[in-house]
């Protein structure tokens, strides 16, 4: 912080809870010194906290005790309350460390594992608390004399830097081809870069797991990576050296640059420049965005120096969690990667890259993982310990302890044995480091979710009460908890989502709820439409288009793309299904309405990844700057999609361009939010609106809805700390269960 000893006459003592610098255990730091210096320190901490600081409370008292004549002391830390611990997320390499790594005269010149108290791995190498070297995966490396003296010296930047290392004593790189070590250390990195230049796919071990890397301008290599990974369409993230390199293919706002360069280093979704040709077309086909991150370890920085932008996608098999152990990666990725760049610092817990989008100045998390987990969300009041297991897709769990809700890193889609194993492992780790034993378990109401089944079994085995939470109620409460709202005040929640099990057994997802942690009332919802074949309709958006056309009484005209692309035999079966309601689940999902609109106007008939149709529809709508919404009809608490479907079909057949139709559709969704909120406010007198659910990740909808609601005097709660998608749902489940326990409801 750069405070020098100072002669002073008055003194004050400032208490902080949370953690600062390397004190990642819960601490109460006391500072003593001249009041001006303390005030300066305090305001600096508040306005520009050091990378690893998370200050929760301040207190200051004037003291008459004056010690010596030097005026600024950081007194011995003490643990605040038994069991209260905080763990820092992993932090991107700081500028001081990077400068050393690039200085030929420095002993860490070109050393990929450079770190200090201000940066480096934390969460992913910690085995237990307190956070000390023997409790990390660095325990196997014995510091050399030079490193040890840095570690022991209070004035050194590496004082008590647990992962401190250098080329003499620390972790090393190895490069392998066909399972055999080819070279190690400095030559390993060069060998990997040479292989990348030849178009090879390299599995690279990073901070939280493995990446699969290829050159981002190499169309053949990118296509080969997609083929081998069986990942046909889902966008691939890329890593670039710096902001200037990203500007070659994307337009970047000041706020996007700030987050790209921030110490969490998430993948930021950027708008691709029109007609750019720097990147392989296969990186993000069908979208106008590209996910970009900057290097966050010394290894990445060296890689970026030696090669251009790289695709850096998670090193996993499809539908499985990210790989993090050398032996597992060598085994499972051998059919995908041509070579491996490994190191011998073990990753204790895997942690995927985080993904965010910037809307205006706000950071909207899409995947909250490395760099953010396990920072807690503060609850309104200390409560019992709750384990909330989330939903199914984008799974995370939430473990609460006192007034802290610790949301896990991204685990993956909870649909396979491997993901369940990763979930159990991550949970055991959280319970260990936060010393929390659940008093109650919370899960989704959906009877078939793997997470719900697991929770039921866990609760039964441990004789714990189980709270089953309706999916969209959890979304509403996730937003409430994130914004620290008074639990007694009900708010409005506009929850537009893909899928969620409703209390009536229907598939919900277009919900206007009034509620708080204590419960909810379904004020309005999208009028039910039959969903033929359940999940088959999610994979085949044309089925939803046909169902919506049927519900709206629009004939299946063969000039409509969603009709033209379907064989007559399937049309006959679908028509019969809809007429007899056989195998049809009723749904109020706005996510499915997006699918229907995308298929109806010919954007996408079959989805290869979740929300693909909606993402491509948004990309097309962005080509039109203004468009009028279709009229919104809400009658008896039912939002009617039929007029929208009729208008889309009619305009399409009369030759209106798809971009305009897509744009009008988006604006209609925004108008629906505004009209529904206004009606609900009139009926309830409540003007606080939470926007949540997967659809709120749509930048066009989220941005316009926020602006228009605020213009009309609403207080809008957008999800900015935890995702609006199902990755944030565990927080809402946890808050509901905490409240229920507090009120003696269990």
Q: Could you tell me which stretch among 92-100, 324-332, 584-592, 663-671 binds Zn ion (CB under 5 A)?
A: 92-100
Asked if 99 interacts with Zn ion (CB under 5 A), we say: no
Asked if 536 interacts with Zn ion (CB under 5 A), we say: no
Asked if 168 interacts with Zn ion (CB under 5 A), we say: yes
Number of chain positions touching Zn ion (CB under 5 A): 10
Q: Could you tell me which stretch among 97-105, 237-245, 322-330, 407-415 binds Zn ion (CB under 5 A)?
A: 97-105
Measured from the CB of residue 655, what is the shortest distance to Zn ion in angstroms? 60
Nearer to Zn ion, 172 or 658 (CB): 172
Q: Could you tell me which stretch among 108-116, 329-337, 437-445, 549-557 binds Zn ion (CB under 5 A)?
A: 108-116
SS3 percent helix, strand, coil of the chain, rounded to 5, is: 35, 25, 40
Nearer to Zn ion, 295 or 693 (CB): 295
Nearer to Zn ion, 143 or 336 (CB): 143
- Between CA 516 and CA 519 the distance in angstroms is 6
Q: Is 141 helix (H, G, I), strand (E, B) or coil?
A: coil
Measured from the CB of residue 429, what is the shortest distance to Zn ion in angstroms? 25
Out of 11, 116, 333, 407, the only residue in the binding site for Zn ion (CB under 5 A) is 116
> What is the residue-wise DSSP string for 355-411?
EEEEETTEEEEEE--TTTTTPEEEEEEEE--EEE---STTB--EEEEEEEEEEPPP-
Nearer to Zn ion, 12 or 297 (CB): 297
Asked if 97 interacts with Zn ion (CB under 5 A), we say: yes
Q: Could you tell me which stretch among 1-9, 75-83, 110-118, 205-213 binds Zn ion (CB under 5 A)?
A: 110-118
Measured from the CB of residue 1, what is the shortest distance to Zn ion in angstroms? 15
- Between CA 308 and CA 213 the distance in angstroms is 12
Asked if 166 interacts with Zn ion (CB under 5 A), we say: yes
x/- map, 124-153, Zn ion, by CB under 5 A: --------------------x--x------
The number of CA neighbours under 13 Å toward the Cβ of 117 is 22
Out of 119, 252, 260, 302, the only residue in the binding site for Zn ion (CB under 5 A) is 119
Asked if 169 interacts with Zn ion (CB under 5 A), we say: yes
Nearer to Zn ion, 126 or 450 (CB): 126
Six-digit token string for 9:
């006459």
Q: Cβ distance 500 to 510 under 8 Å?
A: no
Asked if 323 interacts with Zn ion (CB under 5 A), we say: no
Nearer to Zn ion, 96 or 220 (CB): 96
Measured from the CB of residue 297, what is the shortest distance to Zn ion in angstroms? 11
Nearer to Zn ion, 105 or 254 (CB): 105
Cα distances (Å, whole numbers) of residue 597 to 235, 370, 400, 646, 668: 22, 35, 40, 11, 12
Question: What are residue 444's DSSP bridge partners?
Answer: 469
Measured from the CB of residue 309, what is the shortest distance to Zn ion in angstroms? 24
Nearer to Zn ion, 82 or 145 (CB): 145
Which residue is associated with the tokens 């692309």? 565
Measured from the CB of residue 106, what is the shortest distance to Zn ion in angstroms? 13
Nearer to Zn ion, 168 or 220 (CB): 168
- Between CA 277 and CA 686 the distance in angstroms is 50
Six-digit token string for 3:
């405070």
Measured from the CB of residue 138, what is the shortest distance to Zn ion in angstroms? 11
Nearer to Zn ion, 185 or 255 (CB): 185
Out of 27, 94, 191, 730, the only residue in the binding site for Zn ion (CB under 5 A) is 94
Measured from the CB of residue 570, what is the shortest distance to Zn ion in angstroms? 59
Q: What is the 3-state secondary structure (H, E, C) of 73-99?
A: EECCCECCCCCCECCCCCECCCHHHHH
Q: Could you tell me which stretch among 95-103, 286-294, 644-652, 660-668 binds Zn ion (CB under 5 A)?
A: 95-103
Measured from the CB of residue 114, what is the shortest distance to Zn ion in angstroms? 7
Q: Is 586 helix (H, G, I), strand (E, B) or coil?
A: strand
Measured from the CB of residue 267, what is the shortest distance to Zn ion in angstroms? 22
Q: Cβ distance 140 to 134 under 8 Å?
A: no
The rounded Cα 334 to chain-centroid distance in angstroms is: 28
Q: Where are the beta strands (DSSP E) in 245-329?
A: 250-251, 267-272, 289-293, 310-314
Dihedrals phi, psi of 423, to nearest 5 degrees: -60, -50
Measured from the CB of residue 165, what is the shortest distance to Zn ion in angstroms? 6
Q: Is 262 helix (H, G, I), strand (E, B) or coil?
A: coil
Q: Cβ distance 157 to 200 under 8 Å?
A: no
Question: What are residue 520's DSSP bridge partners?
Answer: 515
Q: Name the burial class of residue 2, with classes exposed (0-12), middle (13-18) and buried (19+) by CB atoms within 10 angstroms of its CB.
A: exposed
Nearer to Zn ion, 99 or 281 (CB): 99
Nearer to Zn ion, 30 or 106 (CB): 106
Asked if 98 interacts with Zn ion (CB under 5 A), we say: no
Cα distances (Å, whole numbers) of residue 651 to 630, 640, 657, 670: 11, 18, 9, 20
Residue ranges that bind Zn ion, judged by CB under 5 A: 94, 97, 116, 118-119, 144, 147, 166, 168-169
């Amino acid at each position: 912080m750069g405070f020098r000893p100072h002669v002073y006459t008055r003194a004050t003592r400032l208490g902080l809870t949370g953690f600062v610098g390397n004190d990642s255990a819960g601490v109460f730091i006391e500072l003593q010194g001249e009041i001006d210096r303390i005030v300066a320190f305090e305001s600096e901490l508040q306005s520009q906290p050091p990378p690893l600081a998370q200050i929760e409370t301040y207190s200051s008292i004037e003291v008459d005790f004056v010690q010596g004549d030097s005026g600024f002391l950081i007194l011995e830390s003490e643990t605040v309350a038994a069991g209260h611990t905080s763990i820092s997320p992993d932090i991107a390499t700081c500028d001081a460390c990077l400068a050393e790594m690039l200085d030929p005269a420095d002993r860490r010149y070109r050393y990929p594992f450079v770190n200090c108290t201000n940066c480096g791995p934390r969460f992913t190498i910690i085995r237990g608390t307190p956070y000390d070297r023997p409790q990390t995966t660095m325990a196997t490396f014995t510091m050399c004399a030079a490193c040890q003296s840095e570690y022991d010296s209070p004035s050194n930047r590496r004082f008590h830097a647990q992962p401190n290392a250098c080329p003499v004593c620390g972790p090393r790189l190895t490069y392998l081809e066909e399972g055999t070590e080819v070279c190690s250390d400095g030559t390993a990195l060069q060998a990997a870069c040479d292989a990348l230049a030849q178009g090879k796919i390299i599995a690279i071990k990073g901070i939280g797991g493995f990446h699969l890397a290829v050159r981002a301008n190499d169309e053949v290599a990118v296509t080969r990576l997609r083929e081998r990974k069986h990942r046909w369409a889902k966008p691939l993230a890329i890593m670039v050296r710096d902001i200037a390199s990203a500007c070659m293919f994307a337009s970047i706002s000041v706020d996007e640059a700030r987050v790209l360069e921030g110490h969490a280093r998430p993948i930021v979704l950027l708008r691709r420049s029109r007609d750019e040709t720097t990147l392989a077309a296969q990186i993000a086909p069908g979208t106008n965005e590209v996910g970009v991150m900057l290097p966050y370890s010394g290894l990445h920085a060296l890689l970026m120096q030696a090669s251009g932008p790289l695709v850096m996608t998670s090193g996993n098999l499809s539908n499985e969690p990210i790989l993090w152990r050398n032996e597992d990666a060598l085994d499972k990725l051998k059919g995908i990667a041509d070579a491996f760049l490994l190191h011998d610092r073990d990753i204790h817990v895997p942690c995927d890259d985080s993904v965010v989008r910037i809307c205006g100045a706000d950071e909207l998390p899409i995947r909250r993982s490395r760099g953010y987990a396990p920072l807690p969300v503060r609850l309104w009041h200390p409560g019992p310990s709750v384990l909330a297991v989330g939903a199914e897709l984008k799974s995370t769990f939430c473990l609460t302890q006192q007034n802290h809700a610790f949301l896990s890193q991204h685990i993956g889609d909870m649909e396979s044995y491997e993901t369940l194993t990763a979930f159990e492992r991550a949970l055991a780790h959280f319970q260990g480091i936060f010393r929390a034993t659940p008093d109650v378990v919370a899960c989704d109401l959906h009877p078939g979710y793997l997470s719900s089944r697991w929770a039921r079994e866990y609760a039964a085995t441990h004789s714990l009460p189980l709270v089953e939470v309706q999916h969209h109620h959890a979304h509403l409460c996730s937003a409430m908890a994130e914004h620290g709202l008074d639990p007694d005040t009900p708010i409005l929640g506009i929850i537009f989502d893909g899928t969620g099990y409703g209390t009536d057994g229907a598939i919900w997802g277009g919900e206007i709820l009034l509620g708080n942690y204590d419960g909810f009332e379904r004020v309005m919802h999208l009028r039910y439409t039959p969903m033929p074949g359940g999940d088959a309709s999610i994979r085949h958006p044309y089925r939803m288009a046909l169902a919506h056309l049927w519900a709206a009484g629009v004939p299946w005209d063969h000039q409509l793309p969603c009709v033209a692309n379907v064989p007559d035999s399937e049309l006959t079966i679908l028509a019969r299904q809809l007429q007899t309601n056989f195998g049809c689940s009723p749904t109020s999902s706005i996510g499915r309405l997006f699918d229907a609109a995308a298929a109806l106007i010919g954007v996408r008939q079959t989805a290869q990844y979740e929300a693909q149709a909606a993402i491509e529809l948004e990309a097309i709508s962005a080509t039109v700057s203004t468009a009028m919404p279709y009229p919104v009809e809400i009658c008896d608490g039912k939002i009617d999609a039929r007029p929208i479907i009729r208008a889309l079909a009619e305009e399409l057949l009369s030759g209106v361009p798809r971009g305009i139709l897509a744009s009008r559709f988006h604006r209609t969704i925004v108008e629906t939010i505004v009209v529904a909120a206004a009606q609900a406010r009139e009926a309830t007198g409540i003007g606080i609106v939470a926007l949540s659910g997967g659809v709120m990740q749509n930048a066009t909808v989220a941005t316009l809805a926020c602006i228009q609601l605020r213009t009309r005097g609403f207080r809008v709660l957008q999800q900015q700390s935890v995702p609006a998608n199902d990755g944030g749902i565990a927080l809402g489940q946890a808050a509901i269960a905490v409240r229920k326990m507090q009120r003696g409801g269990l």
